[in-house]
Structure 1
């Protein structure tokens, strides 16, 4: 079993695994083990369960990094035994029993709120559900600011919507209470009020928080800075593991 953590990158709403592509590429070039699972954006509990199951199939420790809604997902999925740390990237660090709507409700709305589109989708054997997406014409400025225009247009028409149910569903766990965490605030974020990010990170007692003058898709616009935070977390965890290993003989003698 590997003792070096696998980095699992968890995407958020209105995006998919490709949103992490620049960061994924840099991490792979550096020789890290990286996995980027899909998030189905149906409910917080289901999405977290899916990511947790994915993580638990990895042989060895895992460092989870979650962007945006993916931050809420890793908050719950991060209780998996082999998760050794959490990295929040422009993300929601929910408390146990708290929903996205509750956390956001304590702060002024971002530009996202006025540009959401609600679309029904069929649910077998039940009432139709509601998908939430970003208005296509507003997407480049609200969600993909700083991304090349041609890329932003493609992202706008290939969104992965988030089920409205997920906004009001409380988090069943808060992994940051038992796992170390690191955070990135996108100070030019128009999708999530940056103060929502700051508040969640402060409450979670994250070990360090880096502010980047970047928009919501900081992984696209500032990938090297995001990678630096992730690899910094890896280095910190490795140092602690080495220190613990070095103390074991003394501990055994003392016992």
Structure 2
């Protein structure tokens, strides 16, 4: 752990100096500097990144948190693409959980230079979340999913506090449960086209104590996309329980983009 912290701290310093060097050599303050675009997962919205965003902004980065409707994969990809098209410089595109499917599909945008998967699905061409899960035990948290009459899913309070985010405070879990966004269950059956990770360098954060996406599957996905892998002792929501560690990984990706 000590060696990881030292390495991550070095990456943070490198990212900061690379960004400053970019501005100094180009004479710009925005056009050629990396922007971090954050894509939330199911049962949440852009506020899921509220603890990570200030850490990235403190390094002088522009950050955009996409607000996806979770009504269909196509809708979420279209919303994310609009956010990407609005950028004028290189983008590090980050996705959590189901958001990994979204960035896999939307990440082919020319602005995107690298991808960061945070305890996220990274499907291959023609694959869906259902396809990826079929060879693994059903995650414990799935037992706490509730569907309404239109097929939109939410998690119970127990589902959030015991399985989605068991390593956050009870107050934080209650807030997450109260503000969650219902997700169309059909989203998990929709397949992606040519995955962006085939042509973009990727990072992957594996959550060791994840009850929503099997850690063993995460490790396989990270290997499949040839990602730089960091493993954290966290729940399915490390961006909330360990935001500094997640920010360090994002900054590593930013540093690589800033050097080019």
Q: TM-score, normalised by structure 2?
A: 0.86
Deviation at 1:215, TM superposition (A): 0.7
Q: If you compute each CA radius of gyration, which structure gives the higher value, 1 or 2?
A: 1
Rounded to whole Å, the distance in 2 between the matches of 1:216 and 1:137 is 14
The answer to whether the aligner puts 1:45 opposite 2:74 as a matched pair is yes
The answer to whether the aligner puts 1:176 opposite 2:205 as a matched pair is no
The answer to whether the aligner puts 1:69 opposite 2:90 as a matched pair is no
Deviation at 1:199, TM superposition (A): 1.2
SS at match of 2:101: helix
Rounded to whole Å, the distance in 2 between the matches of 1:5 and 1:107 is 37
Deviation at 1:136, TM superposition (A): 2.5
1:56 to 64, 79, 85: 85
Deviation at 1:135, TM superposition (A): 1.9
| Preserved contact between residue 45 and residue 172 of structure 1 (Cα < 8 Å) | no
The answer to whether the aligner puts 1:115 opposite 2:144 as a matched pair is yes
SS at match of 2:114: strand
1:209 to 219, 225, 229: 229
| Preserved contact between residue 91 and residue 113 of structure 2 (Cα < 8 Å) | yes
2:208 to 187, 197, 204: 187
Query: Which residue of 2 is the match for residue 18 of structure 1?
Result: 47
Alignment of 1:23-42 (within 5 A): 23-42=52-71
> After the TM superposition, which of the residue ranges 83-92 and 48-57 deviates more from structure 2?
48-57
Rounded to whole Å, the distance in 1 between the matches of 2:248 and 2:179 is 29
Rounded to whole Å, the distance in 2 between the matches of 1:3 and 1:109 is 44
SS at match of 1:233: helix
2:135 to 61, 85, 106: 106
Q: What are the Cα deviations for residues 62-105 of structure 1, in whole angstroms up to 9, with x where unaligned?
A: 11000111111100010111110100001001111100100011
2:169 to 145, 148, 151: 148
Query: Which residue of 2 is the match for residue 90 of structure 1?
Result: 119
SS at match of 1:91: coil
Rounded to whole Å, the distance in 2 between the matches of 1:62 and 1:102 is 29
Query: Which residue of 1 is the match for residue 19 of structure 2?
Result: none
| Preserved contact between residue 176 and residue 204 of structure 1 (Cα < 8 Å) | yes
Structure 2 gap ranges (5+):
1-29
Query: Which residue of 2 is the match for residue 229 of structure 1?
Result: 249
Alignment size in residue pairs: 231
RMSD over aligned Cα atoms:
1.2
Query: Which residue of 1 is the match for residue 21 of structure 2?
Result: none
